[in-house]
Amino acid sequence: MPKLDRYLSREFAQSVLAAFVVLGLISLGGVFADLLSEIARGRVPAGLMLSQLGLRIITFLPILLPLALMLGILLAMGRLYRDSEMPVLASVGVGPKRLLRPLAVVVIPIVVVVGLCSLWLGPAALRLGERMIWDANRNLVLTGLEPGRFIALPNNGGVIYVGGMSQDGKTFSRMFVHRVSGDRIDVSTSMTGALTVDADGTRYLKLDDGFRVEGPSGAGRDYRLMRYASNELRLPDTEAKRAKDDPELSSTIELLSDPRPGATAQLHWRIAPPLLTLAFALIAVPLARSAPRQARYGSIMIAFLAYLVGMFSTVLGRQWIEAGRAPAALGLWWLLLPVLAFAAWLYLRDGRMRRPRIGSAA
């Protein structure tokens, strides 16, 4: 590789990396806050916080990397124009077409990473995260129960105290359960028990050899006491579990043979990020053109608006396909192909001299 290409590729890579780090730190806070809200609602067990955060970052990369790439190229090209390096390069015959080689060294690997995350790694991470949550709901430790502590159940479902627990978190001893339903309270105790989950994900505490007291939560004497050999208490439901045939949990190969509109919308939603990444990278080069003393922040705002319009258009197109307002065979090609053609036209047109008018020359 010529020395000039190495220099330009290094400048592009450093700027893209800096933009990715800054945007990643900002986005990480939003993903983490969303995950904490799901933990508070009981959707995700607290013991899976770090693993779920890592998996969600993978699914977020196809949205973050295109913006980081476009802003990084804009910053790098803007610095070259500001320091008058681009005019010097243009004077020796290095135009926009000559920049395609060092630009491809940075753009193509990022497009490949976005494609892998969008088409394969992202859906696999989503399926793994759902499976981990499903398996964690079968384990008392991962659901948040700890021996020797009073634990509040999600959705104000009551309070549980466990005296002892097995190492695998499936059986327990000396349990106390306090629940309130309307104006009645229910207190159950047991010497031993276990956590069971049925086919639809509903969780039950199987209590053995215990007592149950039921009575009014306020004033009154309507109490009932019973002793039982075995009793089952249903734990409060978490948020609705995804259906097995949810298109978001299907692999890309499975979506190719799925005729449902939702599956087609999900397939095109996964195809769009790598193509938009390539289009944004091509648009960034002519958008960064500026005079030596011209402010470069205006082009960054235009690039950010272009990114928002492109992403919101894909979201809108996906909703149209799912609702049947747009033909499934058309998919998102009505958006992706014109954007790619427009980006290529802007890139090829960049730096081209206008032909002088005959009348003006005369």
Element (H, E) at 51: helix 49-82
Calculate the average pLDDT of the chain: 83
Mean pLDDT check: name the lowest of 291-295, 300-304, 322-326, 330-334. 291-295
Q: Hunting for tokens 């149950």 — which residue is that?
A: 212
Q: Residue 233 forms beta bridges with which residues?
A: 205
d(CA 298, CA 180): 59
Q: Which residue has the higher pLDDT, 122 or 85?
A: 122
Q: Kindly report, residue by residue over 135-154, the tens digit of the pLDDT.
A: 776 665 555 667 777 877 66
Name every residue whose Cβ is closer than 8 Å to that of residue 337 and which is 6 or more positions away in sequence: none
Contact present, 294 and 84 (Cβ < 8 Å): no
> Does the pLDDT of residue 228 top 90, yes or no?
no
Which pLDDT value is given to residue 353? 46
Which pLDDT value is given to residue 44? 79
> Does the pLDDT of residue 244 top 80, yes or no?
no
Supply the DSSP symbol for 351.
T
Average pLDDT of the segment spanning 219-243: 74
Which pLDDT value is given to residue 237? 58
Which pLDDT value is given to residue 177? 85
Average pLDDT of the segment spanning 295-299: 69
Sheet containing 159-165: order of strands? 150-152, 159-165, 171-181, 184-197, 203-216, 224-234
Q: Hunting for tokens 């491809």 — which residue is that?
A: 104
Average pLDDT of the segment spanning 98-109: 89
d(CA 11, CA 132): 41
Collapsed DSSP state (helix, strand, coil) of residue 331: coil
Mean pLDDT check: name the lowest of 65-69, 72-76, 117-121, 172-176. 172-176
Contact present, 173 and 195 (Cβ < 8 Å): no
